[in-house]
Amino acid sequence: MALLHELKAHEARTLLDQGKVSALELTQAALARIAQVDEQIKAYLTVTADAALAQAAEADERRRRGERGALLGVPIAIKDVICVPGAPTTCGSKILRNFVPPYAATVIEKLRAAGAVITGKTNTDEFAMGSSTENSAYGPTHNPWSLDRVPGGSSGGSAAAVAAQMVPLALGSDTGGSVRQPAAFCGVVGLKPSYGRVSRYGLVAFASSLDQIGTFGRDVRDAALLLQAIAGHDPRDSTSMPLPVPDYTQALVPDLQGIRVGVPQEYLGIGIQPQIETAVRAAIQTLADLGAEIIEVHLPHTDYALPTYYLIAPAECSANLARYDGIRYGLSQDAEEIWDVYRLTRGHGLGAEVKRRVMLGAYALSAGYYDQFYLKAQKVRTLIKQDFDLVFQGSAHTPPVDVVVGPTTPTTAFRIGEKVNDPLQMYLSDILTLSTNLAGICGISLPCGFADGLPIGLQIQGPAFGEEKILRVAYAYEQATTWHTCKPPLD
């Protein structure tokens, strides 16, 4: 039998149901693994060992009373932008260094009701603004596959924790690719649900029309089980859709008969690392071998996703971060004048990337520039969404497709420090994932190969609330390959 820390979530559930292992044993193994390897990886900002052991004991008691559940007693890590009562929620920022939320995010309430065991809070780019988890005020996280490489961002801590086998599951947030991109860099599965599928109540806001909580797992089934637990309508979140949540595990079948897969040529053009293009084309052939019909499609406004995103997201972040003023909570710098309190608090408490985006957003929203920049970006966002609508609904020239497939990232994980002084090159790391958030649709990344020992991610996008479709394609591909079984050489 595999070591306890090596178990996937669904494997752990089977052993728990059979009485062959206890939640306490699983949690102790996870905490031991964190102690063993996190000094190298630095995935965690806070390890809540005592609370985790108490939750594990509670899960064992619930099982003794006859309860069963997919996550009952299974360890999980939480990105440090999601509010967990009793644990610091710093958002990777000095300005919230000592902030402990007095309430739980809806996803945390759902996880606790399901009996999941929260092991701690993971590192993140400050306020989720970044593509590498180098922008954290508490230092960078390292990629388990190569310690001199970034794990991706902004959910790099969660992705690294799963890849390094510290936990089988983790939550992240995805504003422009921040679940899928680190999943690709770290060789794990990362799922970004449709906007409105998962409540954002208790997620510290970056860009409210783009943010979505997503799931990490070591395989597709694990990511689906976690989505099942957290999805659903929440009256406390006005953007949460009142739609029924399907049984996602029913979509996990190993063939693709009757499935149409769209391949946009815009995703396989100039700038893609050659080994990534080769791996993705091989993955597309595997999908065809499994019975899928491969159809070339076009998403003509893809090239505009980057400038559109970097007008809309900074504009929304400039509004959301106005609340960090040194008056209500968090860091506060004393001064005689109120404006000096604001200036000193934000000057000392916020990092360079956050300040850059706040300033960009404030400029785009300023009088005289709103129509020229922000309003125009919103119009282009509509065109990007219409591109996907046309592909998924079909036209007179092409039949509708069920999913769109391509690479998750243009390159494999880059070296720590390689792009920190070149914001544009850093922003380009997310160029293939941004459109998903702008359109409000769902996407998943899973391993499809390696280049020079570093993982490559395959991205599968589906229509809004089409998570079953992307899970079906991802699972069929995963079952036909072995990439998801590969482990980083930490030991």
Residues 105-163 pLDDT 10s: 999 999 999 999 999 999 999 999 999 999 999 999 999 999 999 999 999 999 999 99
Q: Pick the residue with more confidence: 368 or 204?
A: 204
Catalytic residue flag (residue 178): yes
Q: Which residue bears the tokens 């967990």?
A: 84
Handedness of CA 397, 398, 404, 408 (dihedral sign): negative
Classify 14 as helix, strand or coil: helix
Chain segment 308-321, per-residue pLDDT in tens: 999 999 999 999 99
- Considering 22, 131, 136, 154, which one is annotated as catalytic? 154
The pLDDT, as a whole number, for residue 397 is: 83
The pLDDT, as a whole number, for residue 1 is: 57
The closest alpha carbon to 437, from 181, 239, 177, belongs to: 177
CA 165 – CA 178 distance, rounded (Å): 20
All domains of the chain in start order, with CATH? 4-254 (3.90.1300.10), 304-374 (no CATH)
CA 64 – CA 73 distance, rounded (Å): 12
The pLDDT, as a whole number, for residue 395 is: 84
Chain segment 30-75, per-residue pLDDT in tens: 999 999 999 999 999 999 999 999 999 999 999 999 999 999 999 9
Q: Which residue bears the tokens 């939750």?
A: 55
Binned at pLDDT 50, 70 and 90, residue 187 comes out as: very high
Query: What average pLDDT does the segment 191-213 reach?
Result: 98
Binned at pLDDT 50, 70 and 90, residue 203 comes out as: very high
- Indicate if the pLDDT at residue 240 is higher than 60: yes
Catalytic residue flag (residue 136): no
Span of 51-65, 265-279, 464-478 with lowest mean pLDDT: 265-279
Buried b or exposed e, range 390-412, using 16+ CB within 10 angstroms: bbbeeeeeeeebbbbbbbbbbbb
Query: 363's torsion region: left (phi>0), alpha (psi -120 to 50) or beta?
Result: alpha
Catalytic residue flag (residue 121): no
- Considering 136, 146, 178, 435, which one is annotated as catalytic? 178
The pLDDT, as a whole number, for residue 490 is: 87
Strand-by-strand arrangement of the 213-217 sheet: 44-47, 117-122, 75-79, 169-173, 213-217, 189-192, 442-451, 454-462, 403-407, 260-264, 293-297
Looking at every residue in the chain, the average pLDDT score rounds to 96
Radius of gyration of the chain (CA): 21
The pLDDT, as a whole number, for residue 269 is: 80
Contacts from 99-104 at CB under 8 Å and sequence distance 24+? 99/329, 99/330, 101/202, 103/202, 104/202
Give pTM, 2 decimals. 0.97
* Residues above pLDDT 90, as percent of the chain: 95
Q: What is the CB neighbour count within 10 angstroms for residue 349?
A: 21
Query: What are the structure tokens assigned to 147, written together?
Result: 């310690």
Query: What average pLDDT does the segment 3-22 reach?
Result: 97
- Considering 8, 79, 192, 469, which one is annotated as catalytic? 79
Binned at pLDDT 50, 70 and 90, residue 396 comes out as: confident
DSSP 219: S
Q: What is the CB neighbour count within 10 angstroms for residue 417?
A: 12
- Indicate if the pLDDT at residue 2 is higher than 90: no
Chain segment 343-367, per-residue pLDDT in tens: 999 999 999 999 999 999 999 999 8
Query: What average pLDDT does the segment 80-104 reach?
Result: 97
Q: What single string gives the DSSP state of each residue in 255-313? A: --TT-EEEEEGGGGSTTS-HHHHHHHHHHHHHHHHTTPEEEEE--TTGGGHHHHHHHHH
Classify 109 as helix, strand or coil: helix
